[in-house]
Structure 1
Amino acid sequence: MTALIVAGVLAGCTPSAPLRTGSFDGSEAASTAPPLPDSAYYVDPSLGVWIDPDTGYDTTRDWALTDSDWPVGLIMSPSQSPQLVVGEERDGIYTRELAKVGITPRFEKIDIPARTFHALQRSKWAFVYMPYAVFTDYCRTHENQGGAGGLQYVALAGSTAGAGYTLIARDPEIRSVVDLAGKTVAGLENNPARIVLMEAAAKKAGLTLGDGEGDIRVSNGASADDLNGYLAGDFDAVIVLRIVRERFLRTGSHVIEEFTDVGYIPNYTILTVERSVLEERPDAVDAFLKAHHQAHEVVEAMDKQALDTALMDSWNGYFRSQETTAAPQRLVADLSAFQVLIGDMRPEQEVDARLLGDCFAWLDNNKGWGWDGSVDTSRLMALDLYTGVLGEQGKDPN
Structure 2
Amino acid sequence: MRVLHTSDWHVGRTFHGRDLLGDQEAVLGGLAELVTEEQVDVVVVAGDLYDRAVPSGEAVQTCVRVLSRIREAGAQLVITSGNHDSAPRVGAFADFAAAGGLHLRTRIDALHEPVLLDDEHGPVAFYGIPYLEPDPAKHALKASADVAGASEDIESRGHTAVLTEAMNRIRADLAERPRGTRSVVLAHAFVTGGEGSESERTIAVGGVEQVPGAVFDGVDYVALGHLHGPQTLAEHLRYSGSPLAYSFSEAAHRKSVWLVDLDADGLAEVRRRELPVPRELATIEGELDELLEDPEHTAAEDCYVSATLTDEVRPLEAMRRLQERFPHAVHLEWRPATGKATAPLRYAEIVRGRDDNSLAARFVEDCRGAEPTDSERALLDEALHAVTAAEGAE
Pick the TM interval, shorter chain: under 0.3
Q: TM-score, normalised by structure 1?
A: 0.20
Bigger RCO (CA 8 Å, 6+ sep): 1
Q: TM-score, normalised by structure 2?
A: 0.20
Choose between structure 1 and 2: higher helix proportion. Answer: 1
- Higher radius of gyration, 1 or 2: 2
